[in-house]
A and B are shown apart, each in its own frame.
Chain A
Amino acid sequence: MKKPILALFFFLVLFSCNAQKELYSIECISIENEGFVKLKLLNYVKPTKFKIADASKDAIKALLYSGYSSTNCPTQKPLLKESADIDNFKKIESDFFSKNGKWKIFVRNSLDIDNIKTEKITIKEFEIMVNKDQLRKYLEEQKIIKSLNTGF
């Protein structure tokens, strides 16, 4: 009787860790020139250990998987729109987000804008500029997503 309960406990712990890993809030501040998008990021999981590199990766993930919407920016759909696109990206995802991965090319002006301190925790906010156009072009070149002129 104890074994299934123990197994269930471990499963729940693993599942919750996995879900928490991606828990961040994102807000579009503005759509800039030359294909850049300025995003504000805030992570709820271990905020004290949340670094600019993590925030940059989260910003890129938001552009890839979820898209974004705010009062300043109209709704923007994710770059990986179809399940086939996501499957294609999964093949390169670990390399792409590795320590010296390509993700660094698409990010600039990362700024630690605020440290909000409460009694228990310190929440860090970052402003990240991501070059969405270059990211889209990279995905098109890697045949992860289709370009508008595919087939013509």
Chain B
Amino acid sequence: MLKFVLKRILMLIPVILGIVLIVFTIMYLTPGDPARLILGEKAPQEQVDVLRDQMGLNDPFVVQFARYVGNMLRGDFGRSYATNIPVAETIAERFPKTAELALAGMFLSVLIGMPIGILSAVKRYSILDNISMIFAMLATAIPAFWLGMMLIIAFSLNLKWFPSSGFDTFRQMVLPTITLAAVNAAVIIRMTRSSMLEVVRQDYIRTAWAKGADQKRVVLGHALKNSIIPVITVIGINFGSLLGGAVVTETVFGIPGLGTAMVNAIRMKDNPLVLGSVVYIAIVFSLVNLAVDIIYALIDPRLRE
């Protein structure tokens, strides 16, 4: 088991380097001169040249990339062009909100998705199954940011049950969490349902019925246990889209997370902040998937090879 974990951790290193390389390259291709951007249109060319040199912008791409990675390993993501505040500080300040939102969304979607998915599979073609399938279909077609606005109109402006912005108190957390969880819940319902249906056909389920186990035991003890792996995969993979979705949800509800910081940074052409944030979130996502892989191996010894 330890060998498996170590191997997975070692495999993560090239992936993370690859992530940084891709995002760094994309941002490197930005037209325009960052030194000119910082100093403004009117600054004399000599001054811009000096700053370019100081920032190392005249170095070849490979040198700049290596320097970025080296600094990153020491927790230094560079400084914002707009405010000169270290990017790492902004991330440390803003990311917890984004993570809270994503985790709350994940929690709620699992809480809704798994039981409904199981019930749908057990009572296939029942009214409940039909309703949950219709819900799943609608939820995947609704853009999260629009759902968020509709929830604001209904529950915050008209009914005045929940506030329309912020993410500190429980009441503030309700609407953003629902907004973010809806799509994911739909995916989990579908996945749980089809995975359960797949397992229910297996011989050992028939055996369990045959030996006289009651429904609860067959469903929860035998079927669920064996159908949960694909569901966990989806939960892991979707954590990425949840983190992405959090960016949009934050904007709808005015939550001061990393997403809103990133959107502002793009408007200000503040590339280091965008680069740092995207890289940071992508690394977090890779770590989540690493954790998911390890959980698999714990649940299913076959996956340890």
Bind each other = no
